[in-house]
Structure 1
Amino acid sequence: MIRLKKRILTILSISMFALLLIGLSTGPWSQMLPFGSVFNTEQEVDGPSQDDRSGVSFEDRNLSGEFHRLDEITNAIQAQEPDQEDDGIIPASIEIPAIDVKAEIEPVGILDNGQMGVPSEAEGVAWFEPGANPGEIGNAVMAGHVDSTTGPAIFFDLDELESGDEIIITDEDDRSFIFTVQNQESYPHENAPMENIFGTSETRNLNLITCTGTFNQEEGTHDERLVVYTELNEAQSDIEQKNDSSNPPDSPTNVEVDGSFITWHAVDEEDIVGYRVYQGDSIEESEFEHVESVSPHERKRSPANHGDSTDSIYYVTAVDVYGQESDPSELIQIER
């Protein structure tokens, strides 16, 4: 195992869940109480080896025979991808379609009494910033109020989530990670598995916390805490977005005739492995034939002398390492 110094949480001691009240409460519409615990936020631990990480998955489309720089470009992207995944994102908003939740996220830390901070507003969600970022390996933790002094709050319906429901976390650059609900558990507020909630993990998790159970007037808090455990859906999140056929590369532009050659401008995307040139006999013809492949390091041109036709129509497409092909460029006609 490679030893990685990561900003993760190791539980030093587990104290009572509800030691801090956000405000006085006189009835069941009380505000949520935070989990109470003390953490060491800097500790060197064993992390997953490079081989354990899930890197980019490239489909075998026989591209290596067509574009001979495929291996070089693929290796470069694979070398970058784990770092992007490990960093996660700084969350800005949360959406839970199944229970109609949309809210901004505010970062919180550890209070003077050793407990996790809570949202400043009943309709806000707090992210435990000293812990994991959503999307990186570990347990990212967010908390929301179940109710307030005036009625239901943002996580009032959190207990209605079921396995397979989605939680969408988005950063300020509109990069989104989608987490899928695995299960939910309720714990007595004085006794919960803090290591499972805040501790280390080999997967990319997001744990959502709120109050549940019966409101205890004497103690001024609910008697249980609800934790919804979710895991990153890598196939649907932005770290795997280029594997999605709905996101092909851009089309080549500025396709022109230069003497006896067809030329075009390169597509400015790092995962482009080459270009394909197609020929047809007329604009009305629906069938075009692939006549040449051009690697990205070669000059962006192709001889305009394929076949015996006196007149020909051409277009060019871009191809990425995943085998995805762009839409055709503009058509260009060659008259001989």
Structure 2
Amino acid sequence: MNKRHLFLALSLFCFGFWTWTSAQESSSPPVEEKQIEESPDLSAEFSLLQEEVKKLRLAVEEESAKAVTPVTIRIPKINVDTAIEQVGLLENGQMGVPADEDQVGWFEPGVKPGSKGNAVIAGHVDSKTGPAVFYELDQLVAGDEIVIVDEAGNTPRFEVTKTERYETANAPIKEIFGATDKRNLNLITCSGTFGSAGYDERFVVYTELVDAEVPLADDFALDVPTNVELRGTFLTWHAVRNDTVIGYRIYQVIDGENVHLESVPSHARKSIEVPDERATYYVTAIDRLGNESSPSEATE
């Protein structure tokens, strides 16, 4: 089953939190996954030298190392300390949930906790016999701590940023599961009133990574290329002094739209011949992970 052609829709039943359906069967927005393995082929775009390709692969490996495969979740405020099961997609298209009501399920086809993106863990609020693992999840508030334990015993720590309660049909799928440059972990359970169709609400706790035993490189904005000048039909600029930069993208403004004109590797001359000396151009820098800087000042 190809995730790129699937959509998330809310299930009516608490034990099937979300259902994956085809685009023809659902009006819900697509899940956007911003994972390293789906980054653009930078080595092809920028014609990298062999040494630069090695650095690119190393950067990808380092980014992947920041993520963890979770085995235990601890939420001190509500006395949760339980195992994490890996859940995926059931044959009927629903997101799987843990078989044990006192354990939680990490959505394994999505993002790993600690990596950039929205990792998702779901748990039951109750069962036929009484309260379940996330029965008191709605007691959490901004600033509360969530600790994940991985297979090696590392304990990345997340902090609650906000909580939200949504009607089942109106939960913002892109905000919960979609792409982001932050390292988020979102916890989900059922809430509201229980009826013939199950609970009518979903309660979501949004958290962000604040501490990890695996050191994280500081997130930073790439410097912008400077001294961008158009001399006749030649566009020139000054390099960004940063070892992580692997190249530059040149854009032309056409009818108000920014059109990618060309990509230039960092080891090449910082100039290109452009098709129209009267047009407006700007340049951005690209690092090894595919991050793009803000645009330079546009030519006049």
Taking structure 1 as the reference length, the TM-score comes to 0.51
Are residues 1:37 and 2:25 paired?
no
Deviates more, 1:81-90 or 1:199-208: 81-90
Query: Where does residue 215 of structure 2 map in the other structure?
Result: 240
Shift of 1:201: 1.0
Alignment of 1:7-46 (within 5 A): 12-18=6-12, 32-38=15-21
Please list, as runs of the form range in 1=range in 2, the aligned pairs for 1:1-336 lying within 5 A after superposition. Answer: 12-18=6-12, 32-38=15-21, 83-87=61-65, 88-216=67-195, 218-219=196-197, 221-233=198-210, 236-240=211-215
Please, what TM-score do these two structures have when normalized by structure 2? 0.57
Counterpart AA for 1:148: S
TM superposition shift of 1:128: 0.4
Contact 1:103 1:124 in 2 (8 A): yes
Relative to structure 1, is the Cα distance of residues 133 and 242 closer, same or farther in structure 2, using a 3 angstrom cutoff?
closer
Contact 1:210 1:225 in 2 (8 A): yes
* Structure 2 residue ranges without an equivalent (≥5): 22-29, 43-56, 219-300
1:105 aligns to what SS in structure 2? strand
Give 1:188 deviation, angstroms. Answer: 1.0
Residues 9 and 165 (structure 1), Cα distance of their counterparts in 2 relative to 1, 3 Å cut? farther
- Which one-letter code corresponds to 2:168 in the other structure? H
* CA-to-aligned-CA distance 1:141-181 (integer Å, 9 cap, x gap): 00000001011000000000010111100112101111110
The CA distance in 2 between the partners of 1:82 and 1:166, in whole Å, is 29
In 2, the alpha carbon distance for the partners of 1:10 and 1:224 equals 27
2:291 corresponds to which residue? none
Q: Distance in 2 between matches of 1:99 and 1:185?
A: 18
Instruction: Report if aligned partners of 2:192, 2:201 keep a CA contact under 8 Å in 1.
Output: yes
- CA–CA distance in structure 2, aligned partners of residues 238 and 10 of structure 1: 33
Q: Which amino acid aligns with 2:76?
A: P
User: Which residue number corresponds to residue 71 of structure 1?
Assistant: none
State the 1:82 CA deviation: 6.9
Question: Deviations along 1:48-91, whole A, 9 cap, x unmatched?
Answer: x9xxxxxxxxxxxxxxxxxxxxxxxxxxxxx9687444340110
Do 1:11 and 1:194's aligned partners in 2 also have CA atoms closer than 8 Å? no
Q: Aligned letter for 1:232? A: L
Residues 18, 36 of structure 1: 8 Å contact kept:
no
CA shift in 2, pair 1:238/1:32, >3 Å: same
- Cα deviation, residue 13, structure 1: 3.2
CA contact (8 A) 2:182 2:208 kept: yes
Closer, same or farther: CA 106–41 of 1 in aligned 2, 3 Å: farther
Larger radius of gyration: 1
Unaligned runs of 5+ in 1: 1-7, 20-30, 50-78, 244-336
Cα gap change, 1:197 to 1:241, in 2 (>3 Å): closer
- Asked whether the equivalents of residues 181 and 230 of structure 1 are also in contact (C-alpha less than 8 Å), the reply is yes
State the SS of the aligned residue for 2:214: helix
Task: Identify if the C-alpha distance between structure 1 residues 165 and 10 changes in structure 2 by more than 3 Å, giving closer, same or farther.
Answer: farther
1:107-165 Cα shifts (integer Å, max 9, x gaps) = 01011222210011010010000000110011110000000101100000000001011
**Does structure 2 conserve the Cα–Cα contact (< 8 Å) formed by 1:106 and 1:127?**
yes
Tell me, yes or no, if the aligned pair for 1:9 and 1:41 is still in contact at 8 Å. no
Asked if the contact 2:8–2:31 (Cα under 8 Å) also holds between the matched residues in 1, the reply is: no
> Using the alignment, how far apart are the partners of 1:91 and 1:98 within structure 2?
20
Structure 1 vs Structure 2 CA RMSD: 3.3
